[in-house]
Amino acid sequence: MSRYYTRVCNFYYGSQSKNLVSKKESIPIHQIKEISFDQIEIITRKSKKKISIKEIKYLSKSLKKKINFDLKKIKLKKKNFSNLNFKKIPNILGVLNLTPDSFSDGGKFNTKKKGFKHVMHLINSGADLIDIGGESTRPGSQTIKENLEWSRLSEILKLVSKRKSISLDTRKSNIMKKGIELGVKLINDVSGLSYDKETINVLKKYKTPFVIQHSQGDPENMQNKPSYKNELLDIYDFFEKKIKLLRSMGIKHNNIIIDPGIGFGKNLKHNMSLIHNISIFHSLGFPILVGNSRKSFIKELSGKNDSKLRIGGTIASSIYLMMQGVQILRIHDVNEIMQAIKVFKKIINN
């Protein structure tokens, strides 16, 4: 028997969306009238078929039940957590790397003074939450010892986490524990909670919201010929299995975010498939986070027009992801992205 997946598509944004929702011609994402859709794509591992929402009633009884179950999760209003406001799309997760070797800004902010100054800049530019990391997980990077990672993080976390909303980017359970005790509001583990077997116990004990990111392999080898049977559906299945495991281990809350992990064990084809079809993950029922900022797919697509900061490619992909209902974007250049979003919204609502 075929396994069916539901991808919502053909989105509308702004005043046009509000108008169509009022006429019941489109369905809003999570009851946000500013963004809605009027088509779905029914996907199996062998086929794809797009239909309008008005055609759902003509499907077989079993398929219609499956689609309506997915749509119920897609339409459900999201509860806010970790200073993220799910009444708006998108939220911005600003990035602070306290590392000497991160792929785009290694060493730029890795002192207490520079780090704090950059946190304030990101907040003042419009970031809803700041993601702070002390270990580079760029392709080819090596794992560092826990005491070194914590030495990079501890001072800045003590300085800002009680006053500002902080996400902690780490794979290590003991660092998660220390960060949470200092006031960290979200854990962002690029390994999908798989690197450290104690991670789930820490998250369960503190009931801390967290991000599940998909990654194939470890940072040092993840870009060595990554392969999938079907990257989109394989990663969707990964999230379903991971959520089922977490439930079985006692994590019952829904303060969970999913991140398909652009660039983490993916080549250009995989990344483009995930970005283009990102709206399939809405049917899992959790907010979606995408880290598109400054990623290598921008270089691969732009060729000779690549630039060090890749702001142009980050803006273009951010607007697309916003138009697909992605709730959170992980961004380095917050001010520029906020400018782009504000201008886009004014134009589309004019």
Longest Cα separation, the chain: 62
Active-site residue numbers?
295, 330
Q: Report the range of poorest mean pLDDT among 152-166, 217-231, 237-251.
A: 217-231
pLDDT band at 108 (very low <50, low <70, confident <90, very high): low
112 confidence band (pLDDT: 50, 70, 90): confident
Sketch the domain layout of the chain as residue ranges. 5-75, 91-348
What residue type is 25 in one-letter code? E
Q: Average pLDDT, stretch 266-280?
A: 98
Taking the CA atoms of residue 121, residue 122, residue 125 and residue 127 in that order, the dihedral angle to the nearest 10 degrees is: -160
pLDDT at 232: 98
Q: Give the helix ranges, DSSP H, for 257-324.
A: 268-276, 296-302, 311-323
Q: What is the pTM of this model?
A: 0.94
Mean pLDDT of the chain: 93
Q: Is the pLDDT of residue 42 over 70?
A: yes
Of 65, 49, 63, 46, nearest to 7 by C-alpha is: 49
Q: In this predicted structure, what is the pLDDT of residue 139? A: 73
Average the pLDDT over 157-172 and give the result: 89
DSSP 293: T
CATH number (1.10.260.40, 3.10.450.50, 3.20.20.20, 3.60.70.12) of 91-348 reads 3.20.20.20
